Structures are given as C-alpha cells and as structure tokens.
Structure 1
Amino acid sequence: MRVFSSFLCLCLSGTAGSALDLNQGSVSVTPVVAGLEQPWGVAPLPNGAALVTERDGHLLYVRDGQTKRVAGVPPVAAQGQGGLLDVTLARDFESSRTVFLTFAKEQPNGSGTAVASGRLNKSGSRLSNVNILFEAAPVGKTGRHFGSRVVEATDGTLFITIGDRGDRPSAQDRSNHNGAIVRINRDGTVPSDNPFVGQSGIQPQIWSYGHRNPQGAGLDERGTLWTAEHGARGGDEVNRIKKGANFGWPVISYGKHYSGDKIGEGTSKTGMEQPSHYWDPSIAPSGLLVYSGDMFPSWRGDIFVGSLKFDYISRLERNGSTVSEVEQIKGVETGRVRDIVQAPDGAIWFISVGNGTVYRMSE
C-alpha cells in the first residue's frame, strides 16, 4: 500500500525521453509520471498539469514534478475490474473547472457503472460540488465489464460506455443499461432526442446497444463517436456509433467463446451493425483517440487504440465507415496501454499499466 503525503514526487518532469522510429519519422516518448498503481484514465490540463485516475480510487493531480491526491472523489467499489476509471475535462473546463469521472458504484447485490461531475479548485487539491449524474440500472452482480469512458459530445451531452457486466444476454435487453452506450445531459437529465425516449420498457438514456465491453471512445472531426470494444476470443472491434443502432453482441461476433464454442448466430444478421474493424486474435483494446492536432499533421483523422494484450498502440486509417490498421507503435514504453488522449498542444499522452507510467509522445 502506497502512503501519501500532501505531495508525492512521482513525476519525471525533465527526464529525457526515448525515440521511436515510425512510418512518419522519429517521435519522442517521454515519461510524465511513474510509480502509479493500476492507472486507468488521464486528462491533460490546459496549464500543463494532468489528472490521472488509479483504479483503487485515487485521483491524482500531476504538475511540475509533483503529484498529489485530489480530495472529494466519491466512494468507489474497487473490486474485480471495477474502481475509479475514466476522467474527462468538460469542454468549458477553463471557465467551469468541471471534471467528469466514471467509476464502479456500490449497488444492492453488486456494483454498477456511474458518472459523477465535480469542480476542480485552482490548486488541483479538491473536487467540490460533486454530483452523481448517472447510475446504471442495478443488475450487475459480477466484477467484470464496466466499460467505461465518458466523452462530451459537440452539443454538450455526455456519452458513457457500459459493458455487459459478463451477462451476455443483457446486452440485448434494453430494460437495463448493460452493453450500451448511454447519452445524458450534463446535469444528468435525459435528452429529449434520444432514440428510445418514451418507449415502454426501454431505458431512455440508451443511445446504442449490443456492445460487449467498450473501453475506448472518442469523437472524430464531425463529432461522430467511435469506440473500441473487447471481444471474447477474437472479435475485438472498432465501431462507428449510430443513434439507436444494435451492434449485435452476443447474437453476432467475429470471435469465439473462450471455450472455443461458437458465439451466437454467426458474423452478421439483418438489423445489426457490422464493425468498422475487428481484430482476430484479440488485442484487448482500451483507450481510443481520433487525432486532430497540429503536432502530427500526417496523422489527422487517424484512430489510435491501445492494446493491453500485445503491448502496442494501433494506428488505423479511416476510409468512410471502415478503418484498417496500418501501423503498430511499439516500444518498451507501450506495455499494456490502457488510455490514449490528445493534449492541448497536440502531443499524444498514453498510460502504460505494465510500466505504471503516463507517457507523452511528441515531435
């Protein structure tokens, strides 16, 4: 157990980076903060600092060679794959100081994916005005498949990814939130233009369904949501999310059960979406970025997905609704890549769970 004082010198600010030779040329990869325990999400701040989540419930503020724990985080159920998961800044963060967190919240007979918002003070030491905006319907009884990314759409609504919680059929049951992408307003209310609002027996927050365990999510230049989703044995997917769409799990899949048995009815079915890309064998994808920065202009519009299994970052090029992997960014730094995000200056930051480190990829 790590013991915290008000500040911890875990950062590696100023540490020399290493170089990776990629298709577009050499890039520098520099450690930002090391010594982390099960880091899950990272959010670079406009002032050069960053917020980092650790799954056991710690939210860390990293700046100028020092790291401190942020107070005010809601209680989390840190069991199995659950705990404190994603962290995202509001689009108006510089004025509102609003931060969104996803986490596993204790529920009757289990825990479920929840989303909270809070206001980060200027020193980065505390969240105030913390509110629970969303809590998945309490049906999850396992410690698996919580999702769980939160993305603010261009219209100010929030997309949250939720896994099937290890209960495969529930991803097709819209009376709960399992295996769904949900969409809510920033105050937690339901947008009136959600696809299933007013339909009896369907949770009104659902935007799309039939997902297994989407752990990566990001917007493209048009504001369209893309996700990276864990399959079973094979069948990891990148999906271009559509309003009201059924993405098929567990009726269709390009993978197999871990036992080797066939999943569902095959790889396609009328009324169910096809993935934009799938991997077989599985790479265990977690964290997705659609790059839009100026630092790497040749990468604009490309999708980056971290691999937890094969220790690399997949770079995928888009062609309409389909994508293809064109490069694997791999080095000693890319051990079990959990999250990947774009910083305000166009650099790419990523989390290596294997190294317990946040890295910055730059020119």
Structure 2
Amino acid sequence: MRQIVTSVFILASALAAASCSAAPAGDSSAASTPAPTTPDTAAPYQVSTHGNFNQPWALAFEPGTSRLFITQRQGTVVFFDTATGTNGTVTGALPTVDYGGQGGLGDIAFAPDYATSKQIYLTWSEAGEGDTRGAAMGRGKLECGSNNACTLSDFSVIWRQTPKVNGRGHFSHRIAFSPDGKYLFLTSGDRQKGDPAQDLTTNLGKVLRLNLDGTPAAGNPFADRGGVSAEIWSYGHRSVLGLKFDSQGRLWELEHGPKGGDELNLIEPGKNYGWPIVSNGVNYDNSDIPDHSTRPEFQAPAISWNPVIAPGNFIFYSGRMWPEWRGEAIMPGLGPKLLVRVAIDGTQGREVARYNFDKRLRDVIEAPDGSMWIAEDGVDAKLLHLTRP
C-alpha cells in the first residue's frame, strides 16, 4: 500500500469551537475566543496515511493480532491489518442502526476473555416507537476465517438506554472494562435533554457499571433503588465520548460541554458531576450556566476547556515510543482539528501541547509497539499512523 509521509508541526494558534452543536455528527462548530497557547515546538512524530473509510467512529485492536477493527457509523465494521496492509470486512449478525445526526454504529470492544470466548461488544443507536431512539449495546462471537473476512454470530442486545427519547444526539455509548476484567463500564449520554442527567430513575447522562452480560453490577451506589438506578456509577454527565482507566486503575471520562466547558473528569462512585446545573461553558443562546466553582457540592473537572477542543476519544499513553509522554492523556479533536496532550498531576489535568491537523480527528489508539493510530472523521476518512522519526 502506498504511504504518504508528512511531518506535522505544533501551531500554537487561536483555536475555537463550540461542542455538540448542529455540525456534522453534532460534535463541533466555530466559536470566537482564542484558545490557550502551548509550547511552540516541532511535533516529535511523522505521519503516514492509510486507506479510505466512511465515517469511522471507534478503533480497537484484536488482542494478540495486528488487526485494527473500525466501526463506521452507517452500520458496518471493517478492519485493517497494520502489519500487512490488508483490509477486511465483518459480516453476519450486525445490529440494525438508526443512522443520522450523531447516531449510528458506535463503540467496539473485545471481551477480557476474548482469547477463549471470541466475544466482542458493539454499541449503536437503536430506533424506538414514535420517532424515538436510544443507545444499545450487544455482544456476539467473532470468527475470522481468512485474512480479509470475519463473521459475527450469536449476537444479542444486552443493554438499552432508558427511556428512548426523540432527537439524534448525545448517545455517548463508550465502553471500558475494569482492569481486573470483571466489570464493563459504559457511558450513556443525556440525549440533549439535560435534566435526565440528574434523574436517578433513568440511565441517561450517566456512567454505568455493569456485569459482562449487561446486568447491573452488585455494589453499585444506587442498587437499593432497583431498576436502571442499579446500573449507575456516577451521574450529572452530558455527552461522554471518552472513557478510560489509567495505570493506577482510576476511571476517567472525557465529556463535551455546551458552548465551552469540555471536561476531563476523574470518576468516583456515586458522585454528581453537575450537568445541567453547572458547567464551565454557556448555553448555545449565550445564556449563563453557573460555573463549577459556584457549586462545590458537585464534582469539578480535572481540567476544562473554553473554547472547547471537541474531543472524539482519548487514551492514556504508555510511553513505549515517546517516554516523555508516559501517563499523559492524548486526545484527538473534532472541531479545532488537533491532537492535545494533557499531563495528569494527581487528580488534576494540565495541557502541555497541541498539534494541528488538516481534518477532524475522531479516535486514537495505541499500538503494541507504542505507535499511535488515529482515525479522521467523516466520509473519505483516513487512518493516520504516528511514529517516531
């Protein structure tokens, strides 16, 4: 496969975006105030471009292989073998997605016991009655019979957002497994409704802790309430597009604010993160929302951005290829078209660099060798491979 290699440089420029508006996929649009500057130094990587993909949303390496699986929002799953350059397709029992707005096929995750179970998890937006929809999650068995073809079978729905509502935004549906492999954590967006994020009788606007079969995990903070309340780990969230454990086993989420106020949060069980009562942004009509500092009873973000960075996802970087980045959160941006590095100081975040790109960036993943793969957003998107020069 032909590779085009270019050098990418950091530009400490005036960047701006408003997160989760009516832009494509509802993730960003232009705003007006300058972003904080960061050190003006050359980016320590080179970029090669690979393939053409249709609205990629999530990336996941198949354990023990060099195959990188990619969900595409209209409802397909494909893969790219990063060692051979071979492309492949997943067929079989894929779910029927309700595509439109921010909706479509979402996350893909390989079960902690994938080596023996061959189970994978998918999330997507699912149609309901009367022009309603909500996020759903299912799991099935993946069999790869050749280098360019895999089949999904025995697929079933194991979780749904409750209730289904109208609109096509803020599904969130990111998956993270606990470091011990016993639990599945899942983000459930507020569906652009706001108030349900504070309502413990719904699972909208929440981070959830589930068993691997999608049922509520024992010992959750609101288990005594029963129903979907038993799923809830934390609440008061808006549109959560990143969910990761760090090397200490702590859970973090990356959340889109309204006009300003994107957040990186350290997630603790039972805590309320404030949306829509507080935010470090403002409403889209420029009306005020009280800042986090005015309501200390809510959990404040580790770091927030105003203007937004409109992140697509993030990783905690191992340091294998860039030792100086060890432990940092690496975030691709949808609105300002950038890659952001954030150092973690205890329970706080600190932006240390941002690197400009030509197109919106949807997802990032670290390869076993420490290089990084990034999916551009939108139609005719490319995979970008970042390596040390």
Q: Scaled by the length of structure 1, what TM-score is found?
A: 0.90
Q: Runs ≥4 in structure 1, deviation > 6 angstroms? A: none
2:102 maps to what in 1?
Answer: 81
Distance 1:93 1:298, change over 3 A: farther
Amino acid corresponding to residue 229 of structure 1 in structure 2: E
Distance 1:201 1:129, change over 3 A: closer
**Aligned equivalents of 2:42 and 2:216: distance in 1?**
43
CA distances 1:270-309 after superposition (whole Å, capped 9, x unpaired): 4210000000012212101111252222211100111111
Identity over the aligned pairs, expressed in percent?
32
Q: Does 1:119 align with 2:141?
A: yes
Q: Which moved more, 1:229-238 or 1:70-79?
A: 70-79
Q: Which moved more, 1:227-236 or 1:347-356?
A: 347-356
Question: Which runs of structure 2 are paired with 1:266-305 in the superposition (5 Å)?
Answer: 267-305=293-331
| Structure number with higher relative contact order (C-alpha < 8 Å, ≥ 6 residues apart) | 2
Distance 1:168 1:264, change over 3 A: farther
Q: Indicate if the aligned counterparts of 2:280 and 2:290 stay in contact, CA closer than 8 A.
A: no
2:243 maps to what in 1?
Answer: 217
Amino acid corresponding to residue 96 of structure 2 in structure 1: P
CA distances 1:211-241 after superposition (whole Å, capped 9, x unpaired): 0101112110022111111101110111111
2:72 maps to what in 1?
Answer: 54
2:168 maps to what in 1?
Answer: 143
Q: Indicate if the aligned counterparts of 2:280 and 2:291 stay in contact, CA closer than 8 A.
A: no
**Aligned equivalents of 1:211 and 1:104: distance in 2?**
18
Out of 156, 168, 173, the position equivalent to 2:194 is: 168
**Aligned equivalents of 1:228 and 1:361: distance in 2?**
22
**Aligned equivalents of 1:235 and 1:145: distance in 2?**
15
Distance 1:281 1:88, change over 3 A: same
**Aligned equivalents of 2:292 and 2:208: distance in 1?**
26
- Number of corresponding residues: 348
1:44 maps to what in 2?
Answer: 61
Q: Which moved more, 1:287-296 or 1:257-266?
A: 257-266
CA distances 1:44-95 after superposition (whole Å, capped 9, x unpaired): 2332111111100011122343433311211111122111011122233333
Amino acid corresponding to residue 37 of structure 1 in structure 2: N
CA distances 1:163-206 after superposition (whole Å, capped 9, x unpaired): 11010111101111111011111111221111111225762111
Question: Which runs of structure 2 are paired with 1:199-348 in the superposition (5 Å)?
Answer: 199=225, 203-263=229-289, 267-332=293-358, 335-348=359-372
Q: Which moved more, 1:97-106 or 1:318-327?
A: 97-106
Out of 178, 185, 199, the position equivalent to 1:153 is: 178
Query: What SS does the corresponding residue of 1:31 show, helix, strand or coil?
Result: strand
Q: Scaled by the length of structure 2, what TM-score is found?
A: 0.84
Query: Which stretches in structure 2 are left out of the alignment for 5+ residues?
Result: 11-40
1:3 maps to what in 2?
Answer: none
Distance 1:121 1:31, change over 3 A: same
Q: Indicate if the aligned counterparts of 1:99 and 1:118 stay in contact, CA closer than 8 A.
A: yes
Question: Which runs of structure 2 are paired with 1:183-202 in the superposition (5 Å)?
Answer: 183-199=209-225
Q: Indicate if the aligned counterparts of 2:281 and 2:291 stay in contact, CA closer than 8 A.
A: no
Q: Which moved more, 1:98-107 or 1:320-329?
A: 98-107
Query: What SS does the corresponding residue of 2:88 show, helix, strand or coil?
Result: strand
Distance 1:98 1:347, change over 3 A: farther
Amino acid corresponding to residue 40 of structure 1 in structure 2: W
**Aligned equivalents of 1:15 and 1:167: distance in 2?**
44
Aligned-residue CA RMSD (Å): 1.9
Query: Which stretches in structure 1 are left out of the alignment for 5+ residues?
Result: 1-12
Q: Does 1:15 align with 2:33?
A: no
